[in-house]
Amino acid sequence: MWIYLLRRLLAGVIVMLVLSFGVFILVALSGNPLAALKATPGVSRATIAAAAAQLHLNEPLADRYWNWLDGLLHGNFGSSYTGQPVGSQIAQRLLVTVKLVVPAVILSVLIGVVVGVISAVRQYKPVDHVSTGLAYLFYSTPVFVLGLLLKDFLAVDVNRAVGHTVLFTVGQSTPGITGTWNVLANEVQHAALPVITLTLVTYATWSRFQRAAMLDVLNADYIRLARAKGLSPRRVLFVHALRNALIPVITVVAIDFAALIGGALVTEIVFSWNGMGQYLFNGLTGAESPDVYAVSGWLMVAGTAVVMFNILADLLYGVLDPRIRNA
């Protein structure tokens, strides 16, 4: 088991290095980061040369990548084209995204598993048709459309019914709020709509995976044997069926969770959250050129999240399935 996990970790690191090198080269070749500075009237050649030296633009691309990678191994992500340290910027944006993604993922897992299990047990019954229709509806609705609908209808109606603002439609918090409980309540009010948006879109996918996995397990021979031996339906469902049906769902959750940590771009733009997705968007759509150090730093953080959550999924496989644990 541990040798298998070590191999997965090593493979993940190799993939991240190869991918980071490719993205670094492509982004570096996509434009001139000094174009805006050169177009500014009155800027001397000495200033332009100093900026080029600071960004290592006079060095070969391979050397620039190696210097960046060497700094990364020492905890230095380099500086963006604006002169700000990439590491501190990513740390701030990552915290914002985590506040949004973690509650959305927890709610999505709970709702997705419950809805998927009920749909499988009540296959082709009215509750199954309703849950399937809602899942397809939320899954097929673009995120920005769902977010705007929640803004225009849910938030407006709730705020009007209460008489004051309960659900905020933009921003991460209200400036000037003091007191621990007041600050916490204010952040929850700002996070409610984007969390609901992510939850509705994400649970719709996971519930379908859970339903399909549960149906496969319920039709397995060992489930028929458990029923024939006289085990209670509750024990058959939760101890034997659900435990095995969770294994494929864990893979989907781990991958999607890592992707959401990397950046829930559309949701953050709709609700004006300055998280990892917004950071990547800004890095790719600079004034004159993509910010190679910002994009590469984002890539390493997102890639690390993918590798770590996949390893966590492998550990959970061993917890759920003794055959994997004892292999």
Give a yes or no: residue 58 inside a domain: no
- Alpha carbons 67 and 74: distance in angstroms, whole number: 11
DSSP per-residue string spanning 53-84: HHTTTTS-HHHHHHHHHHHHHTT---B-TTS-
Instruction: Provide the number of structural domains found in the chain.
Output: 1
Give a yes or no: residue 70 inside a domain: no
Give a yes or no: residue 66 inside a domain: no
Q: What are the structure tokens assigned to 166, written together?
A: 């309960």
Give a yes or no: residue 74 inside a domain: no
Could you tell me the residue range of the domain that residue 132 belongs to? Answer: 2-23+86-325
pLDDT at 203: 93
Give a yes or no: residue 170 inside a domain: yes
- Alpha carbons 295 and 33: distance in angstroms, whole number: 13
Look-up of token digits 């950071």:
279
Nearest to 266 by CA among 196, 193, 174, 194: 194
CATH at 205: 1.10.3720.10
CA angle 216, 217, 218 (to 5 degrees): 95
Q: Which residues contact 296 (CB under 8 A, 6 or more apart)?
A: 20, 23, 24, 27, 68, 78
Give a yes or no: residue 65 inside a domain: no
Q: What are the structure tokens assigned to 218, written together?
A: 């319920």
pLDDT at 126: 93
pLDDT at 135: 93
Please state the pTM of the whole predicted model.
0.83
pLDDT at 176: 80
User: Residue 5: what residue type?
Assistant: L
CB atoms within 10 A of CB 294: 26
Give a yes or no: residue 73 inside a domain: no
> 100 near 264, Cβ under 8 Å?
yes
- Alpha carbons 88 and 96: distance in angstroms, whole number: 13
State whether residue 79 is helix, strand or coil.
Answer: strand
Each of the 327 residues of the chain gets a pLDDT tens digit; together they read 677 777 777 887 888 788 778 877 877 777 677 766 776 777 777 887 887 777 777 778 888 888 888 888 777 887 777 778 888 888 889 899 998 999 999 999 999 999 999 999 998 899 999 999 999 999 999 888 999 999 988 898 888 888 888 889 888 888 888 788 888 888 999 999 999 999 999 999 999 999 999 999 988 888 888 888 888 888 888 888 888 888 888 888 888 888 788 667 888 888 989 888 888 888 877 655 677 778 888 888 888 888 888 888 877 777 776 666 565
